[in-house]
Chains A and B, each alone.
Chain A
């Protein structure tokens, strides 16, 4: 019985958190957008940044999702093996998405593949996506929630390079995405890069990289240097907001990496749009929560 009420409590909290994330950008994104706005001096770029800021204020005042594409919900959970609701977690996250979908409301973004119909509930087979990291000997759970819109999901790309192509090949792989689909993904973008051994390991890392705060760095010195090189390089292309030209292009480049097979370099790119709606919440075993991405929130 107790577990049932606890489950309900966590479902409601997560539903409120999802709704919150749909209308308010995380602190690091807001700060970065304001910074980029200051750098742009042209009429066009500054008008677009001002329009974005106006939209965010209206979304807050009117209590509406800031972008109409509220995406497919994705959760990255780092769950302690001793967290009391571990068995319920995946199903309660699904319930939370449905609850938020009807209360906020969010757009119905789950189309069953092959049968090709919209479920009308924003959830379906395997959606929301839940990625699991199991943490031994912990009774807490950390949840990243992310709204993956269509425009910013489209540029996603993964491949396996031959070692002869080296990190030069990785560079080209990333840059090519920027000037093709990246243009339409609502820059300034947050660019997530995975460098690993195969397509799926690189792809997962590239999404994980988008969960990292803007301005954080990879702990490996060379990887961190490459983040900076790519950031400066992509900025020099001058995509500007909405890809319509400006002094800058990106909010940042985050690289995540693992070891690789000697004969392969797995590489993947994922991008987050300017409306990068990610949230991070940590629950302890009594469901006391802490939100790290947005300051001053009570659910």
Chain B
């Protein structure tokens, strides 16, 4: 295996140019949890995001947090949630915020693809179901904004070290791994169907 590819925030356009779909990367610096309502607030309600994420990273996730003393928090569990739910807003979101890394679960669509290409950003997948590992890669929760949204929707500003593995699903050329894979999967599915049908003619 080649050497670990680690991105550090703030991320610059040049940092992303040699990274392609299917690559595995890690993130050091800051990542902010940001999901459904936060996207809607920024795009539909035009409320400015209370955290500056230019050159930064967001994580589609609703974590489990344990409050500590003095307004400090501990990350207990933080698994990615289905990114597709944010698809509707993501082009505008990338454009407005200058975010460079969008991390979540599963693929995203055409809008995000365009956003990643035009404004130079990546969509990455953190393996889902690995929420405890992700939580232990958070060194500290440094800030919490829009707390009125409740624990899952709050913008939790996390300082992370080698957060990952992050698998690149959309790159700055606008290539989309899941969409490309789907074509392959459907072709192989049709082949599998033909093959199985030869053996299941039980109704005669």
Contact = CB atoms under 8 A, between A and B. Distances in A.
A237 B196 CA distance: 13
Interface in A265-282: 273-275
B182 interface: yes
Contacts of A232: 192
Contact of A55 (B76, B129, B196, B201): B129
A284 interface: no
Contact of B202 (A62, A64, A167, A241): A167
B200 A226 contact: yes
B131 interface: yes
A48 B193 CA distance: 28
A168 B127 contact: no
Contacts of B128: 67, 151, 186, 242
A243 interface: yes
B129 A43 contact: no
A52 B129 contact: yes
Interface size classification for chain A? 35 or more
Interface stretch (B10-18, B42-50, B77-85, B93-101): B77-85
A66 interface: yes
Contacts of B62: 68
Contacts of B78: 68
Interface of B, secondary structure class, is mixed
Contacts of B127: 48, 51-52, 241-242
A204 B188 CA distance: 29
A206 B165 CA distance: 34
A181 to B, nearest CB: 10
A27 interface: no
B203 A163 contact: yes
B91 to A, nearest CB: 21
Interface in B78-132: 78-79, 82, 84, 105-107, 125, 127-132
Contact of B63 (A48, A68, A163): A68
Nearest to B135: A64
B193 A55 contact: no
A64 B202 CA distance: 48
B131 to A, nearest CB: 4
A58 B193 contact: no
B195 interface: yes
A43 B77 contact: no
Nearest to B2: A43
Contact of A167 (B131, B135, B201): B201
Contacts of A243: 106, 178, 181
Contacts of B165: 47-48, 51
Interface in A62-104: 62, 64-69
A68 to B, nearest CB: 4
B177 interface: yes
B203 A175 contact: no
Contacts of B182: 179, 183
A155 interface: no
Greatest chain A CB density within 10 A among B64, B131, B186, B195 is at B131
B79 A179 contact: no
Nearest to A222: B202
A273 B131 CA distance: 15
A54 B126 CA distance: 14
Given A54-B130, A242-B125, 6 more contacts: A64-B135, A65-B132, A151-B82, A167-B203, A222-B202, A244-B169
18 contacts: A43-B1, A44-B22, A47-B24, A51-B165, A55-B132, A68-B62, A68-B77, A105-B64, A166-B200, A166-B203, A167-B200, A172-B193, A175-B189, A175-B192, A179-B186, A183-B106, A226-B200, A243-B181
Interface of A: 43-44, 47-48, 51-52, 54-55, 58-59, 62, 64-69, 105, 107, 151, 163, 166-168, 170-172, 175-176, 178-179, 183-184, 186, 222, 225-226, 229-230, 232-234, 236-239, 241-245, 273-275
Q: Give the 6 A-B residue pairs with the shortest CB-CB distance, closest first.
A: A233-B192, A167-B200, A55-B130, A68-B131, A68-B79, A55-B133
